[in-house]
């Protein structure tokens, strides 16, 4: 989900093989759902992780290089704002992560 402009993901560590949920698992689900609802209502934009920046810049370089990425990807990445930024425009990233993004892009981009 991080690579599709979703900047906040919660996981629920539930392994269950029965037909019905027990009270403990219901409590976990309710707690996570409440936390997720609060997060959505806050409209806060989270800074991306290093992994997100890595994946963004690898895909950006591959689309510019034309490494057999599908036609839909090439159309998506044809947006000039996406080609110029180290992460999706409007998402704030710090100096270290911006430098990391530039480095990753330079390693994968063929000039």
Q: What is the DSSP string of 59-87?
A: HHHHHHHT-S--HHHHHHHT-HHHHH-SS
Q: What is the pLDDT of residue 95?
A: 94
pLDDT value for 92: 83
Q: Residue 77: left if φ>0, alpha if ψ -120 to 50, beta else—which one?
A: alpha
In whole angstroms, what is the distance from residue 54 CA to residue 50 CA? 6
Cα–Cα distance between 37 and 69 in angstroms, integer?
35
Per-residue pLDDT, 12: 72
Where along the chain do its domains lie?
2-42, 50-108
Q: What is the pLDDT of residue 99?
A: 93
Per-residue pLDDT of the chain (111 residues; tens, 9 = 90+): 445 555 667 777 776 677 788 888 889 889 988 988 888 888 777 788 898 889 888 888 887 766 555 667 667 777 777 777 888 888 888 999 999 999 998 888 876
Q: What is the pLDDT of residue 56?
A: 86
Phi and psi based region of residue 43 (left: phi greater than 0; alpha: psi -120 to 50; beta: remaining): left
């Amino acid at each position: 989900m991080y690579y599709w402009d979703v900047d906040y993901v919660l996981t629920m560590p539930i392994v269950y093989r029965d037909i019905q949920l027990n009270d403990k698992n219901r409590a976990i689900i309710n707690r996570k759902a409440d936390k997720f609802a609060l997060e959505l209502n806050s409209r806060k934009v989270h800074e991306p992780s290093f992994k997100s920046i890595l994946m963004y810049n690898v895909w950006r370089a591959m689309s510019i290089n034309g490494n057999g990425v599908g036609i839909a990807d090439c159309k998506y990445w044809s947006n000039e704002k996406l080609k110029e930024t180290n992460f999706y425009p409007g998402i704030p990233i710090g100096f270290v992560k911006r430098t990391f993004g530039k480095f990753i892009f330079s390693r994968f981009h063929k000039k």
